[in-house]
Amino acid sequence: MFSAFLAAVGQLGDRRFMRVLLLGVALSVALLAAFYAGLLLFWNTFTPDTLTLPLIGEVDGLHTLLGWGSLLIMLILSIFLMVPVAAAFSGIFLDTVADAVEARHYPKLAPAPRIPMWDAIIEAVNFTGVLIAVNVLALMLWFTVGPLGPLVLWALNGYLIGREYFQLAAMRRIGRPAARQLRRDNRLTILAAGMLMAAPLTLPIINLFIPVLGAATFTHIFHRLNQRRG
C-alpha cells in the first residue's frame, strides 16, 4: 500500500503524469468552486437575509464568490468539500491517470478499453450522492463519538473512496464482476489504502493533489493484487 503511494509520488517528475496532475488540480479547484458557488446560491435562494462571515462580511452575490476573503473560506470548506470532489473526480478522470501510470510502470500491457464517458459521469454522480449522504450521517454521529469523530469520517470515507477507486481501476482491465471479487478478496488492503487517501483530503492545499495521487495509487494496487492472484 505505502509502496504503491510512493510509486505514485515518484512519478511526479514524469512529464505526462505532471500534465495529468495539473489538469486534475485544475479540475479539483473547478469542482470545489462549483460546490462553493452552489452553497452561496442555496443561501441566497432560501434565506431572506445575507450571511455575514468573519473576514468576508456579507455573502450576497458573485462579487463575494470572487473575493479574496471568499478564497480563504473556500480553502477552509475544502476540508469537507474535497471528499465529494474526489468522488466526482474518480469517474471522470481515473482513466487518464491510469493510462499515464501504466505507460511508465506497465508498458507491456495492451491499451485498456475506455469506460464510456456517460457511464463514468453517471457512476461519479451516483457515488458522489452516496458519499455526501454518508458524510452528513457521519457528521450527525460526530457529537456522540467525541474525539473519535475524525477517525469515523476517515474510516467511512476510506471505505467508500477505496471501493470506488479500486473498482474503477480494476474493471477497466478485468471487467466489473472480476473487479468486484478481487476487491472483496482484498477488502482490508483496500480499506487501509482508502483511509490513507481520505485523511489528507482534510488538509487544505494538499487535498487538491490527492485525487490524482489516489487514482495512481489504486492503479498500482490493482496491478499488484491482480498479479498475485494470477
Which tops the pLDDT comparison, 5 or 46? Answer: 5
Q: How far apart are CA 41 and CA 46, in angstroms?
A: 9
- Please give the pLDDT value at position 31: 74
All cell numbers assigned to 111 = 491499451
Report whether pLDDT(218) > 90: yes
Distance (Å, rounded) from C-alpha 1 to C-alpha 192? 8
Give 198-214 pLDDT, tens digit per residue: 888 878 788 878 888 88
* Model pTM score: 0.76
pLDDT tier for residue 62 given thresholds of 50, 70 and 90: very low
Say if residue 55's pLDDT is above 50.
no
The phi, psi pair for 186, rounded to 5°, reads: -130, 40
What mean pLDDT is predicted for residues 8-22? 83
Three-state secondary structure call for residue 111: coil
Q: What is the mean pLDDT of residues 33-52?
A: 66
Residue 221 CA to residue 111 CA, distance in Å, equals 18
User: pLDDT of 105-150, one tens digit each?
Assistant: 999 998 888 776 676 667 667 777 777 777 777 667 766 777 777 7
- pLDDT band for position 191 (cuts 50, 70, 90): very high
Name 175's Cβ contacts closer than 8 Å, sequence gap at least 6.
Answer: none
Return the DSSP state at 67: S
Instruction: Give me the pLDDT at residue 119, please.
Output: 67
The answer, yes or no, to whether residue 156 has pLDDT greater than 70, is yes
The whole-angstrom separation of Cα 116 and Cα 156 is 28
pLDDT band at 51 (very low <50, low <70, confident <90, very high): low
Q: What is the pLDDT of residue 54?
A: 47
Rounded CA separation 112/99 (Å): 8
Residue 193 has pLDDT above 80, yes or no: yes
- Please, what is the average pLDDT of the chain? 78
For CA atoms 30, 36, 41, 44, the dihedral sign is negative
Half-sphere exposure of 92 (CA within 13 A, CB side): 19
Name the CA dihedral angle for 202, 102, 3, 85, rounded to a multiple of 10 degrees. Answer: 10
Lowest average pLDDT, out of 9-13, 81-85, 196-200, 203-207, goes to 81-85
Among residues 161, 176, 183, the alpha carbon closest in space to that of 229 is found at 183
Could you write out the three-class secondary structure of 29-45? Answer: HHHHHHHHHHHHHHHHH
- Distance between CA 33 and CA 14 in Å, rounded? 28
